[in-house]
Amino acid sequence: MRLLTIIILFFVLGMSPVYSEKINAFEVKNNEDFVLKIFACVKNLYTTQTEKYSIDKQIPFDLIVAMAAYESGWGTSRFAVQGNNLFGIRTWDDNIPQMKPLKKPNSKWGVRKYVSYCTCIEDYIQILNNHPAYEEFRQARANEIKLNGYTNATTLSQFLVAWSELGTQYTYRLREIILLIHSEGYYKGLPVNVRGQIIE
């Protein structure tokens, strides 16, 4: 009986938060639901960590959605479902939980596994805000804010060539998804303006 109690406590205290977060990856019903899930994470990050995510450190919401949608097949890819990785973020560190591509099981790199969508999104923002490959992206964002007071996902997407092996073709695909997000009204009912910014 004592052993059973310990097992139950272990599950409730130690396992349930991870389980409840991971199960969300299996509950994406459609594209609009996918957008809602990302919105919840991004809004939480931007509103509860205001110093870390001031306007000059934010990634436009519609750009986050577009990249996540393309990289994860709107949350249906194996990496999204089994690893909560929405952006195809890789690692070469064997000590970091990861998944190998099915076609390259012996590759030196793997796609990172995350505890939740939100931790993946946070890491993605961190990469864009700090990695040397996205210095032009950050400079363009700063210029947009200085000139207009806001950022534009379509404009900034052209500075993400380094994210994909597709090169400039990748940026065209992102722009198509950004247009789709707006034309399909995925923001309907959300506090997001026409520029894709979250309104507090």
- The helix (run of H) or strand (run of E) holding residue 90 is strand 90-91
Cα dist. 82→27, 76, 93, 179 in Å? 12, 10, 19, 29
CB 124 within 8 A of CB 105: no
Q: If you average pLDDT over every residue of the chain, what do you get?
A: 84
Whether the predicted pLDDT of 4 surpasses 60? no
Determine the average pLDDT of the residues in 39-58: 92
Nearest C-alpha neighbor of 26 from the set 62, 80, 68, 67: 80
Determine the average pLDDT of the residues in 68-86: 95
* Residue 64 structure tokens: 């986050």
Q: What proportion of the chain, given as a percentage, has pLDDT over 90?
A: 66
Whether the predicted pLDDT of 86 surpasses 90? yes
- The mean-pLDDT minimum among 7-11, 44-48, 108-112 falls in 7-11
Whether the predicted pLDDT of 9 surpasses 70? no
Of 11 and 165, the one with more pLDDT = 165
Of the pLDDT bands very low, low, confident and very high (cuts 50, 70, 90), residue 150 is: confident
Provide the CATH number for the domain formed by 23-183 in this structure: 1.10.530.10
CB 40 within 8 A of CB 132: no
Of the pLDDT bands very low, low, confident and very high (cuts 50, 70, 90), residue 189 is: low
Q: Which residues of 52-80 are buried (b: 16+ CB within 10 A; e: fewer)?
A: ebeeebbbbbbbbbbbbbbbbbbbebebb
How big is the chain by its Cα radius of gyration, in Å? 18
Determine the average pLDDT of the residues in 90-102: 94
> Residue 7's pLDDT is what?
33
Of 186 and 140, the one with more pLDDT = 140
Whether the predicted pLDDT of 6 surpasses 80? no
Neighbours of 197 (CB within 10 A): 19
In DSSP terms, 98 is beta-bridged to 112
Amino acid identity at 40: A
